[in-house]
Amino acid sequence: MPDPAADVIVRGGRVFTVDDAGPWAEAVAVRGERILAVGPQEEVLGLAGSATEVVDATGGLVLPGFVDAHNHVRLGTPDGIDLSAATDLGQVHQALRGAVAADPSLTWVEAGRFMYGAIPDGRTPTADDLPEEVTGGRPAFLISYDAHTVWMNRPALERFGIGRGVERVAFGEVELDASGEPTGFVTGFAVMGLSRQGLALMSSQLPGLSPDGQYRRLSRALDMAIGYGITTIVEPQNSPDDIQLFVRARDEGRMRSRVIAAMFHPPGTTTEEVDEFEEAKRIYDDDRFRVGPIKLYIDDVIEPHTAAMLEDYADRPGERGALFWEPGEFAELIASLEQRGFQTFTHAIGDRGIRTALDAVEHARRVNGPRDARHQLVHCEVVQPQDQPRFAQLGVVACMQPRHAAPDITGVWMANVGEARWPFSLPWRALHDAGAVLAFSSDWDVAEMDPLVGIYTAITRADLEGKDAWATEQTVELPTAIRAYTMGSAFANFADGDRGSITPGKYADLVVLDRDLFTLDDPREILETRVTHTIVGGEVVYRA
């Protein structure tokens, strides 16, 4: 180089590089967008020039920027009511009444993150659980914490035309009682509600789904991500209609993290729509904003008993959930998408869903021959021991969310699955030991976006107070958890050549923490750790 001076030097802390060639260093030098040097502090400081910016880590830890492999950043922080703290129906009612009292002009009561455990006796919620006096007669539309189900009152059912005998609407499957009347509960929302048709129906009624509302939520979420040290976000579920939201955020300087956007392929997607996906993949293909993977669902979720299981749910004999695709059809779909050059992300939670998805990738290998496809199975919540080695054998990445195992949010989940299946539930260690690549992520806003919360849960499987840890044989060590949030997720998204480790020549995507995670006496101190600096492409884009 004609001028070896660094533009930025990070010093004064320990550097965990996630690079096996040299896992530890004292300082990092950056020139332009790339890492210039990594090594002893004295040596790296020798690259400083008169204009070099020096970032002092002040005894903290320097890591590669976090790569959040599954973050619904486009959905953003809801404008409506957050029900995650409501632990019973009374608290749900109190939150809804409070929102109406605070803003009497509301035409709809929109809320998110209701917890299944707030409903008595482990049953599903109904319209009768939302008396009209709670909302002053306004329609109420409540989305569950996992965004897979919707709970409505009677005015909302009427507004959407959901009456006797209506089994399905564009945003989900309608639960009917024995007489054929809608109960107020809708399943399959994540699959159908986030489709083009589902969003069109909802946006015709719900004020919060206006284009400006969507952009406002996206912008807030992008700001959150950069404050948590997330330098690459994988947004897993979009349509071509959503791309302009990201383009606007990029052009207006709101997209400081790199973004990879997957296109959503629900059942019923046409060949013409796949052609649209392919065109978007061609147009948006740079390291700041890339469109490419395809998002699929093979099954649903555990709490409403809709994930596909090999054996009955523990608390509901005779119920095993269902697949969204017939196995042979799904296998042909994976093979055909792969032939068109697409990587796939398949939501797979139950052990039958996971086995079906693995069988589909195995079929693609037979049809298409060897290739580095890096298909991902997302969530992987119940993985039978005989299926665990198949991830590595087939080159399938396990994209998993550690916080989903936290006992303070999984009470209903654990009861439904049953203790006999706990030893192979969210089996991070077993998959890692079997050679699978782990790609950790938040699944925000199903769970907290902060990667440090995920890392803490990955090494403890405890709640946020350090209590009630379960199936601790499936915890992983701290270096493994960090790798899964950096190099593992970068590899999972074909970005390991320039991200995921602090290696000369890679992008200078870095995060500085205010303490060294490797020296903490109590894992709960991880939850008190804060990001002091986030650097993307050599630019300091966040300072605490």
pLDDT digit string (tens) for the chain, length 544 residues:
435 799 999 999 999 999 999 999 999 999 999 999 999 999 999 999 999 999 999 999 999 999 999 999 998 766 668 898 899 999 999 999 999 999 999 999 999 889 998 999 889 999 999 998 999 999 999 999 888 899 999 999 999 999 999 999 999 999 999 999 999 999 988 888 777 788 788 888 888 777 788 898 899 999 999 999 999 999 999 999 999 999 999 999 999 999 999 999 999 899 999 999 999 999 999 999 999 999 999 999 999 899 999 999 999 999 999 999 999 999 999 999 999 999 999 999 999 999 999 999 999 999 999 999 999 999 999 999 999 999 999 999 999 999 999 999 898 999 999 999 999 999 999 999 999 999 999 999 889 999 999 999 999 999 999 999 999 999 999 999 999 999 999 999 999 999 999 999 999 999 999 999 999 999 999 999 999 999 999 999 999 9
Say how far apart CA 134 and CA 106 lie, in whole Å.
Answer: 13
* Ramachandran class of 505: left when φ > 0, alpha when ψ lies in -120 to 50, beta otherwise: left
What b/e sequence results for 23-43 when a residue is b if at least 16 CB atoms lie within 10 Å of its CB, and e otherwise? Answer: eebbbbbbbebbbbbbbebee
For the stretch 325-381, pLDDT in tens is: 999 999 999 999 999 999 999 999 999 999 999 999 999 999 999 999 999 999 999
Say how far apart CA 86 and CA 77 lie, in whole Å.
Answer: 18
Q: Among positive and negative, which fits the CA dihedral 100, 101, 103, 104?
A: positive
Say how far apart CA 469 and CA 408 lie, in whole Å.
Answer: 10
Domains (range + CATH), the chain: 6-64+506-543 (2.30.40.10), 81-209 (3.10.310.70), 298-477 (3.20.20.140)
Q: Residue 271: which residues within 8 A CB-CB, separation 6 or more?
A: none
CA 51 to chain centre: 39
For the stretch 440-459, pLDDT in tens is: 999 998 899 999 999 999 99
SS (H, E, C) 247-300: HHHHHCCCCCCEEEEEEECCCCCCHHHHHHHHHHHHHCECCCEEEEEEEEECCC
Half-sphere exposure of residue 247, counting CA atoms within 13 Å on the CB side? Answer: 10
Among 515, 438, 425, smallest CA distance to 479 is for 438
Where do we find the tokens 């021959």? 369
φ, ψ for residue 97 (rounded to 5)? Answer: -60, -40
Say how far apart CA 509 and CA 538 lie, in whole Å.
Answer: 7
